[in-house]
Structures are given as C-alpha cells and as structure tokens.
Amino acid sequence: MADVNRGNRPLSPHLTIYRPQLTSITSILTRITGNALLLGALLVVWWFLAAATGEGYFDVVNGILTSWFGDLVMFGSLWALWYHLLAGVRHLIWDNAMGLELATAEKLGWAVVGGSVVLTLLTVVII
Amino acid sequence: MRYLTDRKRAEGLGSAKSGVHHFWAMKMSSAALLILVPLFIFTFGAALGGSYDEVTAYFARPFPAIVAALTIIVGFKHFRDGVQVLLEDYVHGTMQKVLIIAMTCLSYGAMATGLFAIAKLAL
C-alpha cells in the first residue's frame, strides 16, 4: 500500500452533497450537545468548589451562575442534557439492531427532539 | 518464497481482541447516567438559587451529596470517553494525542475538584 497516492485524491461526495435529514441532524446534535455540556459541567463544579470554600467566594460564583449569562448556560445545558439522554436511549435501542427501519428511525428522531423540549419545559416548571 | 497460503500467514494474527472495550465502557456509563442525570437535575436544580446557608445545609444531606458525587464521577468518565471519539474523528496526528491527553487531564481534574468540594460540603 506504500505506493498509493494518499495526498491528493478526490473524496467521494458526502456532507456537502446530501440534503440534511432528520436522522443526520439529530445524530450530529447528539455529539454537539454531549461535548458542549462540558461548559455547564465545569460551571457546576466551580459552583460546588465555591460553596465548599466559603460564603464570599460562593456569592461571587453563585452570582455568575444565576446571572442572565448563567441562566442561559444552565437552561441550554438542561435542554442539552435531556436531548443527549433521549438520543442516548435511542442509541441503546439501536445497539440491539432494533428501530433501524427508516420510518421507525424518523419517529425516534422526532421523539428525541419533541421529548427533549417537553422535558426541559417540565423541569423548568417543577424547579 | 515461502510455501504458505495467504490464510496460513494470517492465522493467529487476528483482531486486536480489545476493540469492544471502549464501546462497552460508553454503554455502561450511559446506562448509569440514565438513572443519575434525572436525579441530579432535580436535586441540584432544587439547590441552585438558594442562599449560602441553604446550599451548604442541602448538600450536607446524604442523598443530594451522593447523587452529585456519583453524577460527577460517571459524567466526567463518560465525557472523557466521548470526547476521545470526537477528537479521533476530527483531529489527526500529534495534535490528536495532545488534545486527548489534555481533555483526559481536564476530565479527571474536574472530577477530583467536584468530589473534594462535595466531600467538604457533606462532612
């Protein structure tokens, strides 16, 4: 294989040529939400550290987490958490070679999108 | 020339026999988080927005403290495994290794910091 030209070969058409589909969008959103949750997770750890350190430090960090910026990150993280959780359930189902038919996969996609919104709003109401 | 068939040369050199480990680790942690995350959302959500005294008293209770500690342990392990796949897909060469090491340090660092804080709050 050493003589194969690896540097300058044309790629088979992929992302740029396909129409976005529910299944592909929900798939990449799983990855985006999962990794973006790092920001919210680090803020929460910081908040715990501040609470363990003392009242003055806690007031500073708690002020950031309950500011408009903190609210935005926490609300976004809440949705991302529910979305990633439901999408993860979908993957656990798929791992058993179930639910992979196109119609079922589309339904699962809508269930993940809709379910994450409903659960997010429900959580905000309860908390 | 060696008198060996292609099959005979390949025998015993099969799969690495360890490829499923990462997949299985993700599956285990995701199943655990399926239980922990809802519990954490509602315990942490109840505490967030409270005063310093309310928050410290709340996490001195066993249930909220244990849920928070477990979520931080399993959550950051799950993140470490997940971000490794992300980096392996999009970054290559030395930068890939550097970033995987950096994210591993960050994950375990955040995990240790969170556990220290919760232990101090709880005791």
Nearest to residue B48, comparing CAs of A79, A80, A36, A44? A44
Instruction: Tell me what pLDDT residue A62 has.
Output: 94
CATH code for position B44: 1.20.1300
Find which of A14, A45, A79 to mutate to test the B interface (most B CBs within 10 Å of its CB): A45
CATH topology of domain A22-126: 3 helical TM bundles of succinate and fumarate reductases (1.20.1300)
Mean pLDDT computed over B19-38? 93
Domain boundaries, chain A: 22-126
The whole model's pTM is what? 0.86
Predicted local distance difference test score (pLDDT) of residue A4: 63
Testing the interface with B: which of A37, A48, A62 to mutate, by most B Cβ within 10 A?
A48
pLDDT category at A1 given cuts 50, 70, 90 is: very low
Contact of B83 with chain A, judged by CB distance below 8 Å, is answered with yes
Is pLDDT at A99 greater than 90 in this prediction? no
**pLDDT value of position A122:** 93
Indicate the number of domains in chain B: 1
The per-residue pLDDT for range B51-87, each reduced to its tens digit, is: 999 999 999 999 999 999 999 999 999 999 999 999 9
Q: Is the pLDDT of residue A14 over 80?
A: no
**ipTM value for the complex:** 0.86
Instruction: Give the amino acid at A58.
Output: F
**Phi/psi at B48 (nearest 5 deg)?**
-65, 130
Decide: B37 and A77 in contact? Cβ < 8 Å.
no
- Asked whether residue B92 is assigned to any structural domain, the reply reads yes
What pLDDT is stored for residue B27 in this prediction?
94
- What average pLDDT does range A61-83 have in this prediction? 95
Q: Give the residue, B24 or B7, on which the prediction is more confident.
A: B24
Residue B48: which domain range?
Answer: 22-122
Q: What does the pLDDT read at residue A16?
A: 75
So what's the pLDDT on residue B23?
92
Q: How confident is the model at residue A11 (pLDDT cuts 50, 70, 90)?
A: confident
3-state per-residue secondary structure call for chain B:
CCCCCHHHHHCCCCCCCCCHHHHHHHHHHHHHHHHHHHHHHHHHHHHCCCCHHHHHHHCCCHHHHHHHHHHHHHHHHHHHHHHHHHHHHHCCCHHHHHHHHHHHHHHHHHHHHHHHHHHHHHC
Contact A81 B41 (CB under 8 A): yes
The pLDDT > 70 percentage for chain A reads 94
What pLDDT score was predicted for residue A15?
72
Residue A84: predicted pLDDT: 96
User: Per the CB < 8 Å rule, is B52 touching A58?
Assistant: yes
